[in-house]
Amino acid sequence: MIDIKDVSFEYGKEQGTLSRIDLEIRQGECVLLCGESGCGKTTITKLINGLIPHFVEGGTLSGATFVNGMEVAKTEMYHLAEQVGSVFQNPKSQFFNIDSDSEVTFGLENAGAAPSEIRERFEATVSALSIQPLLGRNIFSMSGGEKQSLAFASVYAMNPSVFVLDEPTANLDAEAIDILRQQMIRIKKEGRTVIVAEHRIYFLMDLIDRAIFIQNGKIAQIFTREEFHKISENQRIRMGLRSLVYPTLKLPHADPPGAKVGLSVENLACTIDKQTVFGGINFSAVPGEVLGIIGHNGAGKTTLIRCLCGLLKESHGTVQLDGKAVNVKRRNKASFCVMQDVNHQLFSDSVWNECEVSKPDCPAERIEKILETFELLSFKDRHPMALSGGQKQRLAVATAILSSKYLLVFDEPTSGLDYRRMLEVSDMIKNLKSENRVILIVSHDFEFLNRTCDKIFGMEGCSAERRKSCVGNI
Amino acid sequence: MSSLSRNHTLKIDPRTELLLLVMANVVAFTQHSVWVEITWVVLLLLLIIVCGCKKAAGKLAVAFGIFLFLQYYVFPNGPKMIASSFTIIVSYARKIFPCLIVGTLILQKTPVREFMVSLRKCHIPQGLIIPLSVTIRYFPALKEEVGYIRDAMKLRDIHGAEKIECLLVPIMISAATTAEELSAAAVTRGIENPAQKTSMIDMKFGVQDFVCLALGAVFCVISIAVG
């Protein structure tokens, strides 16, 4: 049982705060923490897993949090770790080993469990969560979904009575989300307490017992499952929440190849290390249209993007721009990709210089105008890394527009975004339509695709299923 | 644990491998008899062949042969110029072969986790082992990052000297966030627990380890005594 008693917390100056949180969570309950980014839901998870006050430095905390009778602030992290397991947002930064088997046993080895007990828990975890396909593998060869599954398993192996999940699906596709859902059903059945902070809610609807809606660091409302199910579409939009129902795509198919303007892809195939990733890709996208590209992890979406952007040579087929076949080199000159982790593509020491790097001979007025359209002009002397996620993304797009790229590709532009921020990205992309460019979006986010795209291209059926295995359902 | 794994290759304890590495060094820099050296190299090559590194062993054997051929055939018979300029390089390069061979074995056949467990068994402090294992884990992550950043640079037409700066900034930023997130995950998994760490794999010295170490010791004694 978890008891948060009149807790207020303040980070340094800039970040949000929590004020006077009172919350009791019964053993075996599954509780959703929802609300906009920065509302404080992650902060509440940190109260429970002890990162506040043990790990976060320089905050002021008042009130007390109890987990299974232990006062969090007065308990060592490693004691808490035996009862509270945490899965975080980023699958890449949660593992400590290179091979998967070591990762599953990591927590138990830290606690100094007897080798026979470790082996027992290892076997129990493997069969309870059906992770056989993940065993004996190099973690760096795993997809984001597989890594997250492994993180979940390594927490499960420690046998905690409380699971704290902080935006666990931010980087996952629909299939991986479903696996996580199955794992959550399992731990709930076993009577473990689950606290999950999430933007994506639809997959949790029948799992949760209560939903806590948080606004500006305060608990604004507590819903029972039944009450939460009754929320109307208008109300959930007012609350700034993502879709409550499983979103389905309602978009027409992409045009067949052969467009005389824009992009036409005909019978395209790519191989990596002599293995075919996909073949027979056929579609067109005309300027001013936004085309969504979908396909589950491993279908080769990233490879397709790299090929279209001229970072990878095709093994077969042609790519045409405005009716003319273009080779790898020319595609590279004509295209830009806004990456999922936009931090990889901002290099300069200020927003203004970032623009100048893109087009050294560009007149200042044009840069000013473009920064203005992307609402970045007032930040022109800021370091790009000091911008918010959305601003970084807009800056990356601004650099692409400046260097007159014809083909713009967005790779998962909405991963981990709340409703309002998703709308912002959607509006920005829709505004680009008037610019006479070909725009492609690769995404798992159906709610976003429905709002933003005109047509859709599905990669299913084109891919040669590179993956050796996938985690089965439980 | 059986000394023969499924594919019938010999398995050596990581501690033995480390000791062999030390011995390889001792032998390499104390002995002066070419026959001792050749026998030592041949034995080590045989060892890594039975451990499953056949390809690497072949390459190393050929390279060693070429060095011997250079020193004992080409240099005495060829022009003086070549001999005087290359003798030192060739004879010293030949001396590091035993270390190369043992190093190959360690890199190819020892999982990081076994290495860490054996360091722990040698009572190396935990404060050293954790940063070491996280560092090893960081290299593949770094490789991934660099791949993304190089793609990004190509898309932005960044060339020449600018590249290095453009590579460093995003790497530093991502390293900082990775370090932060990784340590948060580590403390929630009880890494600070003062209890004696344990492991699912238990490592024991087998006959093969004692044989290797005994042979190594013999060679050390011979090369110190003879040399």
The pLDDT confidence band at residue A43, using thresholds 50, 70 and 90, is very high
pLDDT of residue B8: 65
pLDDT of residue A314: 94
Q: Check: CB of residue A87 under 8 Å from CB of residue A75.
A: no
Task: Return the higher-pLDDT residue of B179 and A64.
Answer: A64
Condensed to tens digits (0 to 9), the pLDDT of residues B180-191 reads: 898 899 999 998
Q: Check: CB of residue A93 under 8 Å from CB of residue A169.
A: no
Q: Whole-angstrom Cα distance, residue B156 to residue A345?
A: 8
Comparing A53-67, A318-332, B195-209, B212-226, the range with the smallest average pLDDT is B195-209
- State the nearest Cα–Cα gap between B128 and chain A, in angstroms: 15
Chain A environment of B194 (Cβ under 8 Å): 78
The answer to whether A403 contacts B156, with C-beta atoms less than 8 Å apart, is yes
Q: Check: CB of residue A261 under 8 Å from CB of residue A322.
A: yes
pLDDT of residue A470: 39
Q: Check: CB of residue B113 under 8 Å from CB of residue A97.
A: yes
Q: Check: CB of residue B182 under 8 Å from CB of residue B137.
A: no
The one-character DSSP state at B72 is I
Q: Whole-angstrom Cα distance, residue A291 to residue A454?
A: 6
N-to-C CA span, chain A: 27
Q: Whole-angstrom Cα distance, residue A67 to residue A385?
A: 37
pLDDT of residue A167: 94
Task: Return the higher-pLDDT residue of A299 and B182.
Answer: B182
pLDDT of residue B5: 43
The answer to whether B185 contacts A94, with C-beta atoms less than 8 Å apart, is yes
Q: Check: CB of residue A442 under 8 Å from CB of residue A412.
A: yes
Report the chain A residue with the minimal C-alpha distance to residue B182: A93
The answer to whether B156 contacts A357, with C-beta atoms less than 8 Å apart, is yes
Average pLDDT, chain A: 91
Condensed to tens digits (0 to 9), the pLDDT of residues B102-122 reads: 999 988 888 777 888 888 888
Strands (DSSP E) along A365-426, which ranges? 407-411
Chain B environment of A357 (Cβ under 8 Å): 156, 158, 162
- State the nearest Cα–Cα gap between A162 and chain B, in angstroms: 12
Chain A environment of B114 (Cβ under 8 Å): none
Q: Check: CB of residue B15 under 8 Å from CB of residue B213.
A: no
Q: Check: CB of residue A438 under 8 Å from CB of residue A262.
A: yes
Q: Check: CB of residue B185 under 8 Å from CB of residue A103.
A: no
The pLDDT confidence band at residue B227, using thresholds 50, 70 and 90, is low
pLDDT of residue B225: 84
pLDDT of residue A14: 59
- Kindly state the average pLDDT of the residues A154-160: 96
pLDDT of residue A472: 38
Condensed to tens digits (0 to 9), the pLDDT of residues B120-179 reads: 888 888 788 888 887 888 888 888 889 999 999 998 888 777 788 788 888 888 888 888
Which of A140, A312, A345, A408 to mutate against chain B (most B CBs within 10 Å)? A345
Angle, alpha carbons A313-A316-A318 (nearest 5°): 80
The one-character DSSP state at A253 is B
The answer to whether B113 contacts A336, with C-beta atoms less than 8 Å apart, is no
- Quick one: CA torsion of A368, A372, A376, A377, rounded to 10 degrees? 50
Q: Whole-angstrom Cα distance, residue A375 to residue A372?
A: 5
Mapped to the 3 state alphabet, what secondary structure does B168-213 carry? Answer: HHHHHHHHHHHHHHHHHHHHHCCCCCCCCCCCCCCCCCCHHHHHHH
Chain A environment of B163 (Cβ under 8 Å): none
A409 has a pLDDT exceeding 90: yes
Angle, alpha carbons B141-B145-B149 (nearest 5°): 170
B211 has a pLDDT exceeding 60: yes
Chain B environment of A112 (Cβ under 8 Å): 193, 195-198
Condensed to tens digits (0 to 9), the pLDDT of residues A172-211 reads: 888 899 999 999 999 999 999 999 999 999 999 999 999 9
Q: Whole-angstrom Cα distance, residue A86 to residue B188?
A: 7
Cα A75 vs. chain centroid, distance in angstroms? 32
A465 has a pLDDT exceeding 80: no
pLDDT of residue B31: 75
pLDDT of residue A71: 96
Q: Whole-angstrom Cα distance, residue A214 to residue A268?
A: 48
The pLDDT confidence band at residue A473, using thresholds 50, 70 and 90, is very low
Q: Check: CB of residue B198 under 8 Å from CB of residue B5.
A: no
The ipTM (two decimal places) reads: 0.85
Q: Whole-angstrom Cα distance, residue A45 to residue A195?
A: 7
Tell me the H-state helices in B51-96: 54-69, 75-77, 80-95
The answer to whether A108 contacts B198, with C-beta atoms less than 8 Å apart, is yes
Encoding tokens for residue A112? 């100094």
CB atoms within 10 A of CB A144: 18
- State the nearest Cα–Cα gap between B106 and chain A, in angstroms: 16
Q: Check: CB of residue A239 under 8 Å from CB of residue A213.
A: yes
Strands (DSSP E) along A88-215, which ranges? 162-166, 193-197, 210-215
A336 has a pLDDT exceeding 90: yes
B4 has a pLDDT exceeding 90: no
Q: Check: CB of residue A77 under 8 Å from CB of residue B187.
A: yes
Q: Check: CB of residue B103 under 8 Å from CB of residue B23.
A: no
The answer to whether B174 contacts A344, with C-beta atoms less than 8 Å apart, is yes
Encoding tokens for residue A121? 């828990």
Bridge partners, residue A211, by sequence? A32, A223
A41 has a pLDDT exceeding 90: yes
- State the nearest Cα–Cα gap between A140 and chain B, in angstroms: 7
Instruction: Pick A343's closest partner by Cβ from B141, B158, B173.
Output: B173
The one-character DSSP state at B73 is I
Rg from Cα positions in chain A? 24
pLDDT of residue A468: 39
The answer to whether A93 contacts B177, with C-beta atoms less than 8 Å apart, is yes
- Has this prediction a pTM greater than 0.80? yes
Question: Residue ranges of the domains in chain B?
Answer: 14-110+203-226, 125-188
Condensed to tens digits (0 to 9), the pLDDT of residues B19-51 reads: 999 998 888 888 778 888 899 999 999 999 999
- Kindly state the average pLDDT of the residues A353-378: 89
pLDDT of residue A471: 42
Q: Whole-angstrom Cα distance, residue B97 to residue A263?
A: 57
The answer to whether A309 contacts B170, with C-beta atoms less than 8 Å apart, is no
**Residue A296 backbone phi and psi in degrees, to 5:** -75, 175
Condensed to tens digits (0 to 9), the pLDDT of residues A119-153 reads: 999 999 999 999 999 999 989 888 888 999 999 99
Which residues are within 8 A (CB) of A229 and not within 5 positions of it... i.e. 6 or more apart? A205, A244
Q: Whole-angstrom Cα distance, residue A308 to residue A418?
A: 29
A13 has a pLDDT exceeding 80: no
Comparing A51-65, A216-230, B42-56, B72-86, the range with the smallest average pLDDT is B72-86
How many A/B residue pairs have CB atoms within 8 Å?
Answer: 169
A271 has a pLDDT exceeding 70: yes
The answer to whether A112 contacts B148, with C-beta atoms less than 8 Å apart, is no
The answer to whether B155 contacts A311, with C-beta atoms less than 8 Å apart, is yes
Comparing A389-403, A415-429, B156-170, the range with the smallest average pLDDT is B156-170
- State the nearest Cα–Cα gap between A214 and chain B, in angstroms: 24
Which of B200, B201, B204 to mutate against chain A (most A CBs within 10 Å)? B200
